[in-house]
Amino acid sequence: MKRQLRVGLVGYGFMGRAHSNAYRQVNRFFDLETEPVLKAACARDEAKLRAFADRFGWETIETDWRRLVERQDIDAIDIGSPNNTHREIALAAAAAGKIVLCEKPLAMNGDEAREMTAAVEGAGVPNFVWFNYRRVSAISLAKQVVDEGRIGRPFHYRAQYLQDWTISPELELGGPTLWRLDAEVAGAGVSGDLVAHSVDTALWLNGPLASVTGMTEIFVKERPVQGEPGRRKVVTIDDACQFMGRFANGSLALFESTRYARGRKNYNTLELNGEWASVYFDLEDPHRLQFYDHGDADHLHGWRSIHVTGFEHPYMKQWWVPGCTIGYEHTFTNALADFLKGMETGELAHPTFRDALRTQLVLDAVLESARTGRWVDVAQE
């Protein structure tokens, strides 16, 4: 008999679907002592929620997250709703002694993230943030390469996260998905949405960022409001955000993110250049890790493109046979497997709320620098 983890999920959108799929698949592919039970799904629109719950097999529904958090038959609250809901739900869940899983960015800003981290740690409840890109097999392999000491002294870390879906000035603001364009709901623009991913991966691969200087831009200054014909709202999220910085290990950082790079859909790249070797990853070619090794014989120097689908590669032996690829949704299943395993062993999987707080503090520093035009030291937790 497996130990049951009874889950209450908030949100049935993009992430609600990704998480539900992970809960359903994880025991089919990973050997775990724990089995998630899809106890209740929660959102405000009852009809849409019911259809979602039926499709993914959630046992019951709740239309108020407060009810969900109060339920005695639920062990874990999984927050997959927009950013402005994370804090209140996480604080209530921690106070009720629930395990808390939360989507990224953890919070609207560093102060909220600090409060949330103190709450889960104070309550002593397991916690986790769904920065799923750590669980792309090729990115996990990059981490392995770094941990094995193959890169040598790091000199440069470079990341881009580029999309192109908000270029039209007629795109409305607010409502499903488009809450991302409303600072009151999203907190920030691409910095919280996209740069957060890049920073989480960077801190994981290359350690803490010490100081940053950045700039942001709003290309479309005003947008129509979804569901309110005739009303327009001034846009205050960052449409683009770029910054450079210094890592604590002495290497230099360069980050760029935008939703105005025509032709780039989910172009999430990273490159780390060290004394002995470099790694490069591009999410639009997700099965490959590129690796350059200065230790190769001189006449064989060149970038290798490693097809990360072998049994020896992170997570891959859980899936198909070598050469067969996996996809976006598997990153969530891999992440959930690590989280459950962490609870079983008592060694919590990362990123925890505290890890995500560190990312949030980098974002705060970048936005402060963009406002003031100065270099800003990243605040300590």
Ligand X SMILES: NC(=O)c1ccc[n+]([C@@H]2O[C@H](COP(=O)([O-])OP(=O)(O)OC[C@H]3O[C@@H](n4cnc5c(N)ncnc54)[C@H](O)[C@@H]3O)[C@@H](O)[C@H]2O)c1
Shortest CB 326 distance to ligand X, Å:
16
Nearer to ligand X, 124 or 327 (CB): 327
E-assigned strand segments in the chain: 3-10, 34-42, 60-62, 76-79, 99-102, 127-129, 154-162, 209-217, 222-224, 232-234, 240-247, 252-258, 267-274, 277-282, 288-293, 303-307, 376-377
Residue at shortest CB range from ligand X:
13
Question: Are 171 and 267 spatial neighbours (Cβ–Cβ below 8 Å)?
Answer: no
Kindly state the tokens that stand for 23: 């809960």
Shortest CB 2 distance to ligand X, Å:
26
Shortest CB 148 distance to ligand X, Å:
27
Q: Quick one: 323 exposed, middle or buried, by C-beta within 10 A (0-12, 13-18, 19+)?
A: exposed
Nearer to ligand X, 83 or 226 (CB): 83
Kindly state the tokens that stand for 87: 């804090």
Nearer to ligand X, 16 or 189 (CB): 16
Nearer to ligand X, 135 or 354 (CB): 135
Look up tokens 């999987």; give the residue. 349
Which residues sit at the interface with ligand X, rule CB under 6 A?
10-16, 42-44, 65, 80-83, 85, 103-104, 130, 132, 176-177, 193
Nearer to ligand X, 13 or 342 (CB): 13
Shortest CB 49 distance to ligand X, Å:
8
Question: Are 306 and 288 spatial neighbours (Cβ–Cβ below 8 Å)?
Answer: yes
Nearer to ligand X, 83 or 273 (CB): 83
Shortest CB 380 distance to ligand X, Å:
25
Nearer to ligand X, 80 or 189 (CB): 80
Shortest CB 306 distance to ligand X, Å:
24
Shortest CB 177 distance to ligand X, Å:
5
Q: What is the C-alpha to C-alpha distance for residues 162 and 327, in angstroms, rounded to an integer?
A: 19
Nearest one of 132, 335, 127, 154 to 252, comparing CA atoms = 154
